[in-house]
Amino acid sequence: MNPRALLNHADFFKGISPASIDALAGILIPKTVQKGEVLFTEGQKGYSLYLLASGNVQLSKSSAGGREAVIKIIGPGEIFGEVILFEQESYPVDARALKRSLLYLIPKHQLSCLLENERFRNDFIRMLMKKQRYLTDRILSLAAYDVEDRLFRFIAEQFGKREEYFVDLSKREVASAIGALPETLSRVLLRLKRQKLLSWSKKRVSLAKGFWETNDDLYP
Report which of residues 145 and 220 the model is more confident about. Answer: 220
- The one-letter amino acid at 5: A
Return the pLDDT at 13.
76
Helix ranges restricted to H, the chain: 3-9, 18-25, 83-86, 108-114, 118-144, 147-159, 171-177, 182-194, 211-214
Q: Report strand pairing: 48-54 vs 68-74.
A: unpaired
Report which of residues 86 and 201 the model is more confident about. Answer: 201
DSSP one-letter code for 11: G
- The one-letter amino acid at 144: A
Nearest to 126 by CA among 2, 48, 4, 17: 17
Q: Is the pLDDT of residue 134 over 90?
A: no
How many contiguous H segments (helices) and E segments (strands) does the chain have?
9, 11
Please state, in angstroms and rounded to a whole number, the distance separating the CA atoms of residues 194 and 197.
Answer: 8
Q: pLDDT of 65-84, one tens digit each?
A: 667 777 788 888 888 988 88
Q: CA 197, 200, 203: angle at the middle one, nearest 5?
A: 145
Return the pLDDT at 68.
72
- Sheet containing 38-40: order of strands: 38-40, 94-97, 57-62, 68-74
- Sheet containing 164-166: order of strands: 164-166, 204-207, 198-201
Domains (range + CATH), the chain: 3-143 (2.60.120.10), 146-214 (1.10.10.10)
